[in-house]
Amino acid sequence: MQKSFPPTAILRHRRENLKKCSLSGLETRSDLLFFTYPQDPLPDLSHYLLLKVGAPPLSEADCERGLFLIDGTWRLAAVMEKQLPWALEARSLPVSYRTAYPRRQTDCPDPESGLASVEALFIAHLLLGRPTHGLLDHYYWKDTFLKEFIPVRG
């Protein structure tokens, strides 16, 4: 019997280019809830963890909590976070993970550790023991990411 987890909530900016969005194709999954900023009202996610660069690391102790991802450019994500109706406890991913996404943004606080949203989602689900099957199926750089950018786990 598979364990039940809270669905992962994703707030995507309305100006996010869906042709380039790494999360495109995942909108119909039952374990993911997509909301569009600023149109969609959010349910109470105050008990969720915000996935954010620079926060304390995500750990197995967090496995019962829901995850909240903000999907947009770095600049837009900062604005979106400030607009949340609650302050969320934040967690980050280990810095050893590197993106396969060819980043062109200049406003990224740490381009080397910034991950594509789908990469961050995959790693977070992996670390928390949640299903990862199919998360990378629509990701163009899936093979490169899995081959070169996931550190060997011992």
DSSP bridge partners of 36: 12
- Three-state DSSP at 61 gives helix
Residue 100, Cβ density class (10 Å: 0-12 exposed, 13-18 middle, ≥19 buried): buried
Give the whole-angstrom CA distance, residue 144 versus residue 84.
34
Per-residue model confidence as pLDDT tens digits over 63-111: 999 999 999 887 888 899 999 988 899 999 988 787 776 765 555 555 5
Per-residue model confidence as pLDDT tens digits over 27-46: 999 999 999 999 999 999 99
115: nearest Cα among 98, 102, 95, 132: 98
- Three-state DSSP at 82 gives helix
Whole-number pLDDT of residue 99: 79
The answer, yes or no, to whether residue 137 has pLDDT greater than 50, is: yes
pTM score, whole prediction: 0.86
Domain ranges within the chain, ordered by starting residue: 8-149
Whole-number pLDDT of residue 153: 46
Per-residue model confidence as pLDDT tens digits over 47-73: 999 999 889 999 989 999 999 999 988
Whole-number pLDDT of residue 115: 86
Q: Which run of H or of E encompasses 117?
A: helix 117-127
Q: Please name the residue that has the structure tokens 């100006």.
A: 15
CA distances, 58 to each of 38, 91, 98 (Å): 27, 5, 16
DSSP bridge partners of 40: none
Q: Which one has a higher pLDDT value, 138 or 2?
A: 138
Mean pLDDT value across residues 97-126:
75
The answer, yes or no, to whether residue 149 has pLDDT greater than 90, is: no
Whether omega before 41 lies within 30 degrees of 0, making that bond cis, reads no
Whole-number pLDDT of residue 104: 59
Residue 123, Cβ density class (10 Å: 0-12 exposed, 13-18 middle, ≥19 buried): buried
Whole-number pLDDT of residue 119: 93
Q: Write the DSSP string, 118-154.
A: HHHHHHHHHHTT---TTTTTT-TTHHHIIIIISPPP-
